[in-house]
Amino acid sequence: MIVKSLKLINFRNYEKAELSFSPKTNILLGNNAAGKTNILEALYALSLGRSYKNKDKEMIENEKDYLKINALVELKDREDSITFVAAKEGKKVFVNEREITKLSEFIGHLNTVLFSPEDLLLLKNGPQEKRKLMDMSLLQISKQYVEDYQAFKKQLKLRNDYLKYLYPKTKENDDIEDDMLDILTMNFIDCNKRIFIARNTFLKNLEAITDKKYRELSGSIETITFEYIVNFENDIAFYKEKYKSDITQGSTQFGCHRDDIIFKKNGQDFEANASQGEGRMLALSIKLALAEMIEKMKREAPVMLLDDVFSELDKNHQNRLLSMLSTSMQTIITTTDILKIGKPALENAKIFTVTAGRIKETNYGRNQ
Ligand SMILES: Nc1ncnc2c1ncn2[C@@H]1O[C@H](COP(=O)(O)OP(=O)(O)O)[C@@H](O)[C@H]1O
Ligand SMILES: [Mg+2]
């Protein structure tokens, strides 16, 4: 799929912006804090119906009371107009001017794979980033996951709220016999099961493709594997043993919200000893694998959003990466320095300069 054009109103540092993209490579060039990443975030919001950074309403330009993002997306057999509007009170999403009330029906009209500097934290920042990787990917791939994930979050909150409610009523030596907690726990287990099955299948697929991509991108002969650290248990008795400590902590100690992944190179834990370069290769390989999965499942290539990473690669790796992107893939690359982008990427690229919330097409760099 191809994003033909993008319109922004009151989005972050853009009061009004309009741009039309090339179906191939697009380069957003500008100094720090100019607004390059904001453009990618806007596309991502159309893709997942939410910000990947913080609360939706924080994307509204300061002092304004709403924002609007609209894109025309070209698919093999049609063209869709996709709109995301957010105000302080909430958000609304539209496809071809029709409001979509279920998020699961909205996600998937625009598929993007974002590679951002934060992805390098995958190896450093602990399990939260890894769950985010699984969730953000699955949300795009599976409508069912959107619903299961929402249900899971809701059940977890209900159970945690109830644990907090029970806390003052529970004495140190009491045995916990509580029908309501049993029911909430069974519902929670049920929701966990769906999340676990989806993540497990997803990770097996992703692992196999990432392994291949890593070798292709790095030119090495190493093997990449994932170990899924599962926090799913089907048995209520298991949870009952933890009732007391759950109540004391006021939160559910065990479940998919505590899942983790360990990345391995040649069977060894990769996290402790990967170099920065290797970390970047791994993160990029995962994103390339994700793009391939999305393309297979949706029969449309996703749009690749490469934030500040392309220019961090040496020319050799840039070329490898370019050759690995499927020929039908549209890419949007941000950089502060056009000289860091090699010739092959520049050749057919549309270049935009971004300056303090203004964006315009330019020929700059083309004759270098
Ligand atoms: N809600 C907002 N309203 C106005 N400006 C914002 C808002 N959120 C972020 N910004 C501004 O956007 C700029 C950062 O844009 P960003 O796209 O991250 O820059 P970069 O070009 O470095 O990627 C900063 O100047 C920041 O103050
Ligand atoms: Mg940026």
The pair of three-digit structure tokens given for residue 302, joined into one six-digit string: 């996703």
126-299 fold: Glutathione S-transferase Yfyf (Class Pi); Chain A, domain 2 (1.20.1050)
**Residue minimizing CA distance to atom 3 of ligand 1:** 61
**Residue minimizing CA distance to atom 2 of ligand 1:** 12
What CA–CA distance (Å, rounded) separates 52 from 34?
19
**Residue of 10, 11, 12 to test ligand 1 pocket, by largest number of atoms within 8 Å of CB:** 12
What CA–CA distance (Å, rounded) separates 165 from 317?
55
What CA–CA distance (Å, rounded) separates 51 from 53?
5
User: What does DSSP assign to residue 167?
Assistant: G
Start-end ranges of CATH 3.40.50.300 in the chain? 1-111+301-368
Nearest Cα neighbor of 278 from 60, 168, 122, 171 is 122
- Is ligand 1 within 6 A of the CB of residue 12? yes
- Which atom of ligand 1 is least distant from the CA of 58? 1
pLDDT tens for each residue of the chain, 368 residues long: 999 999 999 999 999 999 999 999 999 999 999 999 999 999 999 999 998 888 899 999 999 999 999 999 999 999 999 999 999 999 999 999 999 999 889 999 999 999 988 887 788 888 999 999 999 999 999 999 999 999 999 999 999 999 999 998 887 767 788 999 999 999 999 999 999 999 999 999 999 999 999 999 999 899 999 999 999 999 999 999 999 999 999 999 999 999 999 999 999 998 878 888 888 899 999 999 999 999 999 999 999 999 998 888 888 888 898 888 877 799 999 999 988 888 888 888 999 999 999 999 987 645 44
**Residue minimizing CA distance to atom 13 of ligand 1:** 33
Residue 268: its H or E element = strand 268-269
The pair of three-digit structure tokens given for residue 171, joined into one six-digit string: 């004495």
Start-end ranges of CATH 1.20.1050.90 in the chain? 126-299
**Residue minimizing CA distance to atom 5 of ligand 1:** 13
- Is ligand 1 within 6 A of the CB of residue 61? yes
1-111+301-368 fold: Rossmann fold (3.40.50)
**Residue minimizing CA distance to atom 8 of ligand 1:** 12
Sheet holding 303-307, edge to edge: 112-115, 303-307, 331-335, 25-29, 350-355, 358-362
Q: Where are the strands (E) in 12-149, listed by range?
A: 14-20, 25-29, 66-74, 79-87, 90-95, 98-100, 112-115
Q: What pTM, to 2 d.p., does this model score? A: 0.91
Expressed in angstroms and rounded, the spacing between residue 99 Cα and the centre of ligand 1 is 28
Distance of CA 357 to the CA centre of its chain: 24
The pair of three-digit structure tokens given for residue 170, joined into one six-digit string: 């529970």
- Is ligand 1 within 6 A of the CB of residue 357? no
